Amino acid sequence: MQSRDDLLSPLKVACVIDPSIDRASSDLIRYEQTRDPALIRALPGEKLILFNIRPLTTIQFTDYVEIQTSVAARYRAAFQCAIDSIEGIEPSGQAWKPTGMVHDEEAGGPISVVLATELPYLRKLGVGYKYIYEIGHLVCERAMLEGKVFGGGAHFTLPPTSLAELTRIARLIAVASRTLQEGESTERSASEAQQSSAES
């Protein structure tokens, strides 16, 4: 179990909508609230997409994120400012790193940022807007919760896009389970009919 998130340290997280998560052996509800990596597992033979994120500096939050005129743009700006690297997407196996650099006085020098021109490449590798919204939402929550953590640490939430995607995934799993059960029932009936015919 990871120590309580102090909201000021880097964090490695997966998105709860990642199809590589083994939903049967993971505690997704607690994971979405705490982002404790001990609570999730990947499916056998699969790899999670892992985002290494930095906390936003005050300058990043006030000058780049908070000034955005829509929630979606705010999430995208937070994602672009906070990403240090992304694991599990590059065919080479290496972590992907943003190439943009900006000088941040608070950080004491240059820090990396995801350029807008890099977003189409990330989308080709499987990191589309739903991932960007979930990570950006988390980055914003960490920035706004700073200094307001009590007792058990931060309690995170999900953006509407992730909640909708989780509902869709749950429906797909239910349909697949029902189809499997119906197939097993059909096979069992056929086997019983065969056995009955052989006995007579």
**pLDDT digits over 63-80, tens only?**
999 999 999 999 999 999
pLDDT score for 130: 95
Among the residues of 45-159, which ranges form H helices?
58-60, 71-82, 119-124, 129-145
What average pLDDT does the segment 125-130 reach? 96
Q: Has residue 129 got a pLDDT over 60? A: yes
pLDDT: which is higher, 114 or 167: 114
Q: What angle do CA 121, 126, 131 make, to 5 degrees?
A: 100
Q: What percent of the chain has pLDDT over 70?
A: 83
Q: Where are the alpha helices (DSSP H) in the chain?
A: 28-34, 58-60, 71-82, 119-124, 129-145, 160-199
Neighbours of 130 (CB within 10 A): 15
The pTM of this model reads 0.82
92 pLDDT exceeds 80?
yes
User: What is the C-alpha to C-alpha distance for residues 42 and 129, in angstroms, rounded to an integer?
Assistant: 22
Sign of CA dihedral 130, 159, 32, 134: positive
**pLDDT for residue 1:** 44
Give me the torsion for CA of 18, 154, 82, 1, rounded to 10°: -60
Q: Mean of the pLDDT values across residues 87-110? A: 93
- Provide the 8-state DSSP code for 5: P
pLDDT digits (tens, 9 = 90+) for 161-194: 998 988 888 888 788 777 766 665 555 555 555 6
What is the pLDDT confidence band of residue 8, given thresholds at 50, 70 and 90? confident
pLDDT at 197: 60
pLDDT classification of 149: cutoffs 50, 70, 90: low
* pLDDT tens digits for range 42-52: 999 999 999 99
Please report the pLDDT score of residue 148 as a whole number.
57
